Chains A and B, each alone.
Chain A
Amino acid sequence: MSGAFGDDVRLAGEALWKVLVASLVLGAGLPAVFALGIRSLAWGAGGEAVDGGTGTAASSGNPVGKVLAVILFLVVAYGIVAGLVFVIASGQGKDISFGHIIPTITAKS
């Protein structure tokens, strides 16, 4: 029994570090990207959106900020869509491959 218990602990450890890495990238990384998007948006809007600064450069706004914000929000949207595809695929008993950037549904190994 202690042998099987040890196996469980070993298997859990193997799964756990992968879960931790994936969760950190998606669960902490994507909100950070989202936050960058919000910041870029505020930079793009200028004026009152940024407080605490000197206001000299920000007051007129900057179109680069808006473009940057759109790109960053698209990255977040990609993450959410990938999550959605994954939920649907696993519901169908399929697995999902992220090897080609666009998530691909594959048969479960």
Chain B
Amino acid sequence: MSAETLALVLVVATALGFDFTNGFHDTGNAMAASIATGALKPRVAVAVSAVMNLLGAFLSVSVALTVTNAVVKTFDSHATSAQDSLTMSGDKLLAIVLAGLIGGIVWNMLTWLLGLPSSSSHALLGGLIGATIVSSGWEGVNWVGDGTKLDGVVGKILLPGVASPVVAVLVACLGTFAVFRIVAGVAVKQVNRGFRWGQVGTASLVSLAHGTNDAQKTMGVITLALIATGHWNSLTSIPLWVKVVCAVAIALGTYLGGWRIIRTLGKGLVDIEPRQGVAADASTAAVILASSHLGFALSTTHVASGSIVGAGLGKPGASVRWSTARRMVGAWLLTVPAAAIVGGTMWIVGHLFGLAVGSVVEVVVLLGVAGYLYLRSRRQDVGAHNVTDAWEIDQAAPNVPADLVRGGNR
């Protein structure tokens, strides 16, 4: 096996690993509210979400080859043949993509351990940014785009990252307020039964949208690596096997259920009830669909978290646990720089050893870190059995090992 083939195999495997973490990291975006209100049993909720993600992934036939282009100049979409379209050599591309993927996975695993919802797309792009800075210098990164459309780090990460949670908070807050005013005086039992049904519909829609958007990113990354190594020649389609494995990887990840994150979203921010759940899920679905319709790239996680906070603010007399919200926003701010540091470090490690050995070393390091974080999580397990337990008062993160929480107990 040539060095390039070995590196390609490792890139594909790592990309699928990222897709898997993307799945369990984001289960809560669609299902946290439904699980918290009891609209769906935890196991049923993650199964529904997994099926919707699988369907969504298969529905997406449009090609997301340009996903890396948002932050790295890898790809010239005006080129006529696939190989001509690459702006760098295949080896260089493989090295950047592998290091970037590892940066994304490590950040996803760490934030999952801490029970913090954070954007998987930002983690992947952050990893790529780090790898690009150390390999090609500051100028290799697409910081602001060319001014004709929203692009680059500013247009695809920074501005949507600031704006989308704010929009979600507003929409969910207003929706919750309206709902509470309208059903005031109706028997609570009847209201809750009706609203639980409403939640199942909107949550499924969010899962489907997640499958079409997020699985497509990994499909794009793998296809890009195949083009870089001369194994694929089309710019307008992707190999069927890539679509199948990506769809299965994200669905399996979703089914695993990122219980720690589901718990934070469903119980930690707001003690959510069915009326708020419908408003939050409808807000999440509407903001995601409206933005993708209008070409505004945003993170499902930021929108879902914002919607839940909004639902908490909109209920008369309800409260939001701001200590949890602060930890979450802190994680959002750190996502890109932290993933970039890991991505950059991994690129250097790979570079020191050369493409073949370096790629193997990087993947071994990744497996070691991921294994450590997993073992760490077993100390204080969160699963379907305890995901909806009452959130302990005055604690920012009850299910996180105490030595990992700093300043959260206020």
What is the interface of chain A, defined by CB distance below 8 A to chain B?
A: 1, 3-5, 7-9, 11-12, 15-16, 18-20, 22-32, 34-39, 41-42, 45, 48-53, 76, 80, 83-84, 86-88, 90-93, 95-96
Task: Report the 5 A-B pairs with minimum CB-CB distance, sorted nearest first.
Answer: A27-B286, A93-B62, A7-B147, A28-B175, A91-B59
Q: Give bound CA distance, A39 to B184, whole Å.
A: 9
Contacts of A23 in B (CB 8 A): 167-168, 171, 283, 286-287, 290
Contacts of A9 in B (CB 8 A): 154, 159
Contacts of A25 in B (CB 8 A): 286
Q: Give bound CA distance, A95 to B294, whole Å.
A: 10
- Report the minimal beta-carbon distance from B317 to chain A, rounded to whole angstroms: 17
- Contact of B278 with A88 in the complex, beta carbons under 8 Å: no
The one of B144, B195, B287 in contact with A38, judged by C-beta atoms closer than 8 angstroms, is B195
- Contact of B160 with A12 in the complex, beta carbons under 8 Å: yes
Q: Give bound CA distance, A18 to B291, whole Å.
A: 9
The one of B152, B175, B289 in contact with A31, judged by C-beta atoms closer than 8 angstroms, is B175
Also in contact, A39 and B186, with CB within 8 A (given A90-B292, A91-B62)? yes
> Please, could you name 6 A-B residue pairs with CB atoms under 8 Å apart, sorted by A?
A8-B152, A15-B291, A19-B296, A27-B287, A34-B282, A39-B183
- Report the minimal beta-carbon distance from B257 to chain A, rounded to whole angstroms: 22
Contacts of A48 in B (CB 8 A): 187
Contacts of B175 in A (CB 8 A): 27-29, 31-32
Q: Give bound CA distance, A33 to B49, whole Å.
A: 25
- Contact of A90 with B194 in the complex, beta carbons under 8 Å: no
Q: Give bound CA distance, A41 to B202, whole Å.
A: 20
- Contact of A92 with B179 in the complex, beta carbons under 8 Å: no
Q: Give bound CA distance, A51 to B295, whole Å.
A: 46
Also in contact, A7 and B61, with CB within 8 A (given A31-B279, A87-B208)? no
Residue of A nearest to B173 (CB): A28
Q: Give bound CA distance, A14 to B295, whole Å.
A: 11
Q: Give bound CA distance, A38 to B187, whole Å.
A: 10
- Contact of B174 with A11 in the complex, beta carbons under 8 Å: no
Residue of A nearest to B151 (CB): A8
Residue of A nearest to B201 (CB): A80
- Report the minimal beta-carbon distance from A14 to chain B, rounded to whole angstroms: 9
Residue of B nearest to A48 (CB): B187
Residue of A nearest to B307 (CB): A27
Q: Give bound CA distance, A53 to B194, whole Å.
A: 20
- Contact of B150 with A31 in the complex, beta carbons under 8 Å: no
Within 8 A of A (CB), among B166-216: 167-168, 170-172, 174-176, 178-179, 182-183, 185-187, 190-191, 194-195, 198, 201-202, 205, 208-209, 212
Contacts of A15 in B (CB 8 A): 150, 291, 294-296
Known pairs A28-B286, A91-B60; list 8 more (Cβ under 8 Å).
A9-B159, A19-B294, A26-B289, A28-B283, A31-B175, A35-B178, A53-B185, A95-B293
- Contact of B293 with A90 in the complex, beta carbons under 8 Å: yes
- Contact of A11 with B290 in the complex, beta carbons under 8 Å: no
By DSSP majority rule, is chain B's interface helix, strand, loop, or mixed?
helix
- Contact of B186 with A38 in the complex, beta carbons under 8 Å: yes
B389 within 8 A of A: no
Also in contact, A38 and B56, with CB within 8 A (given A4-B144, A19-B296, A30-B282)? no
- Report the minimal beta-carbon distance from A39 to chain B, rounded to whole angstroms: 6
B104 within 8 A of A: no
Residue of B nearest to A21 (CB): B290
Contacts of B282 in A (CB 8 A): 26-28, 30-31, 34
- Contact of B278 with A31 in the complex, beta carbons under 8 Å: yes
- Contact of B191 with A16 in the complex, beta carbons under 8 Å: no
B367 within 8 A of A: no
Write the B286-320 contact mask toward A (1 if CB under 8 angstroms, else 0): 11011111111000000000010000000000000
Residue of B nearest to A18 (CB): B294
Also in contact, A41 and B194, with CB within 8 A (given A5-B154, A12-B160)? yes
B143 within 8 A of A: yes
- Report the minimal beta-carbon distance from A79 to chain B, rounded to whole angstroms: 9
- Report the minimal beta-carbon distance from A94 to chain B, rounded to whole angstroms: 8
- Report the minimal beta-carbon distance from B216 to chain A, rounded to whole angstroms: 8
- Contact of B171 with A28 in the complex, beta carbons under 8 Å: yes
- Report the minimal beta-carbon distance from B338 to chain A, rounded to whole angstroms: 23
Q: Give bound CA distance, A105 to B191, whole Å.
A: 36
